[in-house]
Structure 1
Amino acid sequence: MSVKTAKIQGIIDGKRVSTQNLLKSVYEKLDEGITEFEVEASGQHNIGGPLWTTDGTPLKFTVKNPGQRVGSMGMPGTEITINGSAPADVGWLNAGATIILKGDGGDTTAHCAASGKIYVAGRTGTRSGALMKHDPKFPAPEFWVLKTVGSFSFEFMGGGYAVVCGLGGEQLPSVLGDRGCAGMVGGTVYVRGSVRGLAEDVWLMELDDSDKDFLLSGLPEFLGKIERTDALDLLSDMSQWKKIVPKTYEEKKVKSLMSTRDFRLDKWVEGGIFGDLIQEDYYVAKYVETGDLRLKYPEWQNARYSAPCEYNCPVFIPTQKRIALLRQGKIKEALELVLEYSPFPASVCGQVCPNLCQDICSRKKVDIPVKIKQLGQMSKEADIAFTAPERTEKVAIIGSGSAGLTAAWHLRKLGYQVDVYEQDSVIGGKLKQVIPNERLAQEILQTEIKRILDKGVNVKTDTKVDKALFDKLRSDYSAVIVAIGAHVPVVIPFEGHERLVKGLDFLKEVNKGLKPKVGEKVVVIGAGNAAMDVVIGAYEMGAKEVTAIDIQKPAAFEHEMEHARKLGAKILWPVYTQKVTEEGVLTKDGKLIPADTVIIAIGDRPDFSFIDKSWANEKGFVKLNEYLQCEADEKVFVTGDAIKQGLFTHALGDGRKAAINVDRLINGRKLNKFEKAPVIPQDKVRDEYYHPLNPQRVAELEAEGETERCMSCGFCRDCSFCLEVCPEQAITRKQTQDGKFEYVSNPAKCIGCGICAGVCPCGVWTMYEMTEKYIES
């Protein structure tokens, strides 16, 4: 039976296909049962992994002109042949694939390889084989290079085998470049040819019999794969080979310090200016007790406190836990964790949110806050499986904005049937209708909305909820969530107000592509965040001069105002409008601000026309209890701007809270007030362990590289400092059944000295006074 081969093109009709779409084509063919692929790439990344078949059928790829990371995270049963050379990161994080590169490899070839085999018919660049590792549960990784490798290769290598044949490099001063094997702690590098500049961490040694057997058995397969069997005889001369292995800890320890006791006995000058005043017999009296007789005792309180970023986030996203997962190498889990809290990590957290979390980040005391915004952007393509069983209860949600869709996401995650009623023809609320494209990429928003809809959320567009339909929803559904947002612009009735353009309507027309007309000079009444969006929209529509005015200090965030100023806008306050005329805005102090168009953007209100007036308070908003639940009907909850205008993150937080309380209501459980754990006191987080970095260097760091900069406030980073410094060795690390860990202090050994709490960089250990008193009978 012949095997079908899928031919994937990197250029179609003269246009380069994006990496995402090329890989999507591969996945679609794989779903059709095709297991062999010919990929004519044009620099697309990540071709060949991580892929597998459910029945174990091997996968074969033949690739030309790939981009970075070809074969990255390749899985067992996958064979990838690259005809020609390839750029950086060939076989990055290889997990079992066989990768055959019939040309040269770029920098960091075989970087972090953990299993499988990588065969290179030419040279590779710097840092090749760096961070190779070996888990004994799996076959060790192998990395074979016919010619030479660049400088700094095999640095921090932790396991596996690397073979550098040095063919054609016999006259070079070093076939490993310079500073090879720095920080190497495991594995073996076999090398043929001259070597210089090796790090002091390693030994250059002769081969033993087992080394020769490994090379002589592996060379024929390697040379066969790269079609260079003509070199077998030359490379089989084992006298030309040596091996590089890491030094042990003891071998690296070149000196030991004299003990204090020996110094005092043997070097101290008796009777000298620094001599002993009395003779010491070195007897240690046991004044310090253990157990219940201690004055204090320690407790390991992991995650008892909120980290500042978590506490300041309206959605309660625990960024310190995301970064802890990244620190453990659990990238997928880290990117997915945010979806337990918000379905809009890239759109809201990554783009439109002012990032209150970063405003209070402890790292600010050292240099620059951790890049939490960029972490959100990384989760755009993440997804999680909804494992809860399907339920028969139905929940209606009125409004498909950020609050409504967030509630829908969480309810579907809990198994409920969800119908969303949206009066507009498109879903997404103000995220879709109002935010300028330069602040929120529509492609990202649509990706995240699709992720929600793909979970089975049913949306009924062009459906305006009136009193009759609202009453029907309350009757037909187990609960109703009102997430209508605020879409009624507030207008002050000063003279000439009929000339005003309403900011919300203006932004909606801009985003729909209707291109509303504005004059060359525009005045925006209001200077909040929404007003700054209007400023951006006015310039986009052709305005030459835009001025935003407000009666008080602008409520917009500084970075929003800075953006507007860069476009040329003026922001003036305090300015009191008296009336609007044909010439512009006349202020109460008699000044005229010339304007062809005046737009008002001082806030919006929700439209509660479908709800009985008896439900409203004196301000016209629905009366709620502390659970976001209507006082008039316990089945109805209200979220987002329908409660109070705020940030999109407030809407996300409200949507999640409403969904959780709907679930509790249906199941007869007590509703949740969502009280946060107290924020960790700043003096418990030790910034002494962290050194400030150059701001430019920080800016160049990728978000996933923030694992060391994050101070992990209140959340143990498993550094084991406490375990290592405890003078009584009272602390042990225990692995729990759920894969987590904990540190435990043994009261029979602990003397309550407090060193564990003193050295903990995260503030996890806390000392308490012993309250139990003993009374003599």
Structure 2
Amino acid sequence: MFTINTIDGNNRMSTQDLLERINAALAQGETEFYIEASGQHDIGGPLWQPEGKPLKFHIKNAGQRVGSMCLPGTEIIVEGSSSADVGWLNAGGRIIVKGDGGDTTAHCAAAGTIYVGGRAGTRSGSLMKHDPLYEAPEFWVLKNVGSFAFEFMGGGIAVVCGYDSQQFESVLGNRACTGMVGGIVYFRGTASGISAKDTKILALNEEDIAYLDGKMDDFLTAIDRAELRRELSHWHEWQKVVPLTYDERPKKANTNMYSFRTDEWVPGSIFGDVCEDDFAVIGMIATGKYRRRVPVWENGKYSAPCEFNCTASIPSQQRFNLLREGKIEEAYRLVLEYTPFPGSVCGAVCPNLCMDDCTRKTVDISAQIGKLGRYSSEADLPMPENRTGKQVAVIGGGAAGLTAAWQLARLGHDVTVFEADEKVGGKMEQVIPRSRLPQETLSREIARIEKMGVAFKTGVTVDKAKFTAIKDSHDAIIVTTGGHTTKVIPWPGHERIVKGLEFLKAVNKGQKPEIGKRIIVIGCGNSGMDVAVGAYGLGAEQVTCIDVQRPAAFDHEIDHVKSLGAEILWPVFTKEITDQGIITQEGQLIKGDTVIIAIGESPDLSFLPDGIERERGCLKPANNSSIAPGIFTAGDTVRPGRLVDAIGAGRQAGLAVDAYLQGTTFTLAEKARIPAGRISAAYFKKCHSCDVPEANSDYNRCISCGTCRDCHMCLKSCPENAITRTVGENGAEYTSDPNKCIGCGICAGICPCGIWNMEPNAEPLTFYK
């Protein structure tokens, strides 16, 4: 038994310190306590033992709220009396007070047992209640209770034994059971002043006697008064108080409120000088303008987490909805409105941020969004019906430039892409290993862009003169030359370093750059991992990748490189490059024959006219992607990033150029992410990884956050049949009839996708003059 004495000389332990000490002992495995208290509050609840073992407390001199919110598995024995609120909100504990209980003993008790071996004070047993899912609370008192006992009692069982209480006019005090609507109170002896409007007093039946007889021994043994068993078992001395049924309660006269207000009340009402009283009587349940809340069908108002996280803003939940409806080709084509590279990027090299916060992860596993892109690699969109005659030049044939060209060509403009390399595709073509991005996938998607009408001019180096010539012959220019200048830190010996981007370009062209057997790669991002894979492909025997911070590469890329035998070290700070390898700031030598750096790239902007604003070596466009009249930019020329970032920026630049050519203002529609609390993922059955279907069949697992999946749940659940489903050009739509709707919110609560929202009723009430 763990003993705590709360008095040390003249010092008294505070309630907070006592409770903290109890919790600390519980965490160490203690289950039985002897507490020499000195009036501290809240001893004994709510507590639980980490292993689920029962807890037992022996307490002397307890203060208020002993056993407050006590939980199942806890037993509290109070030696002597206790002050107010014993067992307040008892939730299942067994509380024994061997002396008197103070005021409001068992107040709001909802479960468990409370035994008092003396008297209980005012309002004891008030607001007791009973949840039918649990055993009813029990409250036993040996002697009597104070006034207002069992006030507003809603459930449970109370027993007042009336021992040693002959001197009291009522063992239940004055005005007992006022407002009582549930439960039962057994009492022995005389009782008066009990509310006749709410209750009735009855004799015991056999079931009552069986209950009292069965529990009496436990009660008397607990309070150490077993000798009273015979005296308290004369059942003819007992009665019970129960609440009146609805039919038994007195009813008020049925008054026609409208007649009263129009015929008997003050003409025009007592506020007739300021109000126009319509004499409408608003019931407990209202429709129309008197509803406090109204449902709003907000289909598509918010972005799903997948769409919100995707920097290309691809609405993947809409793709799954189309697949669910059997519109397969339409689903595959939808993604082409946002990116021309669903197979190359979404389905191959993208980190698939769309899947990171997929709501389905709260149930089991993310919907298979990334792999879904592969099904769109061969899809096509129709050519534009009308041509605008506008000429647009795109300088740079990487992800951003080709995406912008794709969007502009679809809108009917004539687009020419100028590329310095022999092939378009940017880093997708020049840098990313074929093991990550198959050549046939990329070639097919580039061919689709060309088929849309985009002209490619490769092997074209753009300098200032060439840029001026292009600008003079086109209505608009988009600069998307990317970042192709490898960053090299000027350490001593930096001239020995091989630039990672040039190394990867050579490997992708089928060349075999000369490297040693031991390779050191500076930079552990995805490019660094690509360099490591390329080095092993050229015959390297050992690759060491170093970085100053935690590696930023995708986990699966790091795992792949490690599986080839590479070592990854961080944090490592380089001091010098030598012919033997790298010397760190700590003086350690990391041996290597070849050092390759891959810590990022910067753009070459020397061909642009003077006066264009720049920041840290990059361009600084306006909100519409423009850097000068008729000149726009996107991608790594603005901010180095992922391919999906370049695609999103390229699409935005393409749409901005279209607005410029039409003489309108470009605004990019942005949607807020749907609040997680509006999604009801609990409606979806959990599955295991072995049950996850192929991506194009994963539509039933997609929760369709923020977009209606036409499940009919709201339609079938509305208690007033206020919801109507119609099918139009945009698919199924749901509306709520205000003359039937009562604003209960069931539609919003049951919608798994978060489409219905309850808003305050904004319909004006014409009342004041």
Q: TM-score, normalised by structure 1?
A: 0.63
Aligned equivalent of 2:578, options 572, 575, 581? 581
Label 1:460 to 1:280 Cα distance change in 2 as closer, same or farther (>3 A).
farther
1:714 to 700, 706, 720: 706
Q: Which deviations, in whole Å up to 9, do the C-alpha atoms of 1:226-254 show, x marking residues without a partner?
A: xxxxxxxxxxxxxxxxxxxxxxxxxxxxx
Is 1:761 aligned with 2:757? no
CA contact (8 A) 1:525 1:598 kept: yes
CA distance in 2, matches of 1:718, 1:618: 49
Deviation at 1:495, TM superposition (A): 0.6
Q: Measure how far apart 1:570 and its partner are.
A: 1.6
Give the corresponding residue for 1:669: 664
Instruction: State which of 444, 449, 461 in structure 2 corresponds to 1:447.
Output: 444
* Runs of 4+ more than 6 Å apart: 271-276, 280-283
- Structure 1 residue 775: Cα displacement: 3.0
2:247 corresponds to which of 279, 282, 301: 279
1:475 Cα offset (Å): 1.5
State yes or no: 1:734 paired with 2:744. Answer: no
Could you list the per-position Cα deviations for residues 206-235 of structure 1 after superposition, in whole angstroms to 9, with x for gaps in the alignment?
xxxxxxxxxxxxxxxxxxxxxxxxxxxxxx
Deviation at 1:324, TM superposition (A): 0.1
Are the aligned partners of 1:388 and 1:413 in contact in 2 as well (CA < 8 Å)?
A: no
2:642 corresponds to 1:647: yes
- Measure the CA separation in 2 of the matches of 1:391 and 1:702: 41
The Cα of 1:560 is off from its aligned counterpart by 2.1
Write the distance in 1 (CA, Å) between the matches of 2:680 and 2:580: 60
What's 2:228 paired with? none
| Structure-2 residue corresponding to 1:294 | 291
Q: What residue is the counterpart of 2:80 in the other structure? A: none
CA distance in 1, matches of 2:539, 2:300: 52
Aligned-partner residue type, residue 400 of structure 1: G
Of 736, 741, 744, the residue aligned with 1:745 is 736
Counterpart in 2 of 1:344?
341
Q: 3-state SS of the aligned residue for 2:611?
A: helix
- 1:774 Cα deviation after fit: 4.9
Structure 1 match to 2:544: 547
d(CA) in 2 for partners of 1:589, 1:362: 46
Is 1:635 the counterpart of 2:654 in the alignment?
Answer: no
The question of 1:775 aligning with 2:754 is answered no
Secondary structure at the aligned position of 2:507 is classed as: helix
Report the counterpart of residue 264 of structure 1 in structure 2.
Answer: none
The aligned residue for residue 37 of structure 2 is: none
SS at match of 2:468: helix
Distance 1:293 1:608, change over 3 A: same
Aligned sequence identity (%)? 48
Shift of 1:612: 2.7
Structure 2: any 5+ residue segments left out of the alignment?
Answer: 1-204, 209-241, 255-281
Q: Counterpart in 1 of 2:309?
A: 312
Which residue is 1:53 aligned to? Answer: none
The corresponding residue for 2:517 is: 520
1:697 CA drift (Å): 2.0
* 2:678 is equivalent to residue 687 of structure 1: no
Question: Is the contact made by 2:603 and 2:617 (CA closer than 8 Å) also made in structure 1?
Answer: no
CA distance 1:276–1:479, change in 2 (3 Å)? farther
Identify the residue that residue 384 of structure 1 maps to in structure 2: 381
1:544 shift after superposition: 1.5
Task: Please give the alpha-carbon distance, in whole angstroms, between the structure 2 residues aligned to 1:684 and 1:275.
Answer: 41
Query: 1:355, 1:658 → 2: CA distance?
Result: 22
**Which of the two has higher C-alpha Rg?**
2
Of 690, 693, 697, the match for 1:705:
697
Residue range with higher mean Cα deviation, 431-440 or 555-564? 555-564
Alpha-carbon offset, residue 554 of structure 1: 1.9
Map 1:293-442 → 2, pairs under 5 A: 293-442=290-439
Q: How many residues align?
A: 500
Instruction: Point out the more displaced range, 557-566 or 504-513.
Output: 557-566
For residue 322 of structure 2, give the secondary structure of its aligned residue in structure 1.
helix
Letter in 1 for 2:703: M
The superposition leaves residues 566-612 of structure 1 with CA deviations (integer Å, 9 ceiling, x where unpaired) of 22222211110001111111100010111011100011111111013
Contact between 1:358 and 1:372, CA under 8 Å: does it hold in 2? yes
Separation (CA, whole Å) in 1 of partners of 2:608 and 2:384 = 36
Instruction: Using the TM superposition, give the Cα deviation of residue 620 of structure 1 relative to its aligned residue in structure 2, in angstroms.
Output: 2.6
* Residue pair 1:311, 1:676 contacting (<8 A) in 2 also: no
Shift of 1:547: 1.1
Q: TM-score, normalization: structure 2?
A: 0.63
Q: Tell me the C-alpha RMSD between the 2 structures.
A: 2.0
The match for 1:471 is: 468
Give the SS at the match of 1:317: coil
For residues 701 and 420 of structure 2, the distance between their equivalents in structure 1, rounded to whole angstroms, comes to 46
Counterpart contact for 1:388–1:414, Cα < 8 Å: no
Q: Structure 1's 405 and 547: CA in aligned 2 closer, same or farther, altered over 3 A?
A: same
Q: Which residue of 2 aligns with 1:598?
A: 595
Per-residue CA deviations over 1:234-285 (Å, capped at 9, x if unaligned) read xxxxxxxxxxxxxxxxxxxxxxxxxxxxxxxxxxxxx9999983339999x9
2:561 matched residue in structure 1 = 564
Match of 2:528 in 1: 531
**1:651 and 1:389 mapped to 2: Cα distance?**
28
Aligned to 2:605: 608
Deviations 1:412-467 (A, max 9, x none): 10000011111111111100000001100001110111111111111111111110
SS state at 2:734 partner: strand
Distance in 1 (alpha carbons) for counterparts of 2:474 and 2:384: 23
Quick one: distance in 1 between partners of 2:353 and 2:598?
23
Give runs of aligned pairs for residues 4-153 of structure 1, distance below 5 A: none
Letter in structure 1 aligned against 2:714: C
Name the amino acid aligned to 1:669. T
**What is the DSSP-based 3-state SS (H/G/I as helix, E as strand, rest coil) of the residue aligned with 2:534?**
helix
Unaligned runs of 5+ in 1: 1-270
Deviation at 1:559, TM superposition (A): 2.3
Contact 1:629-1:637 within 8 A present in 2 as well = yes
Question: What is the SS of the residue equivalent to 1:615?
Answer: coil
Matched, 1:658 2:653: yes
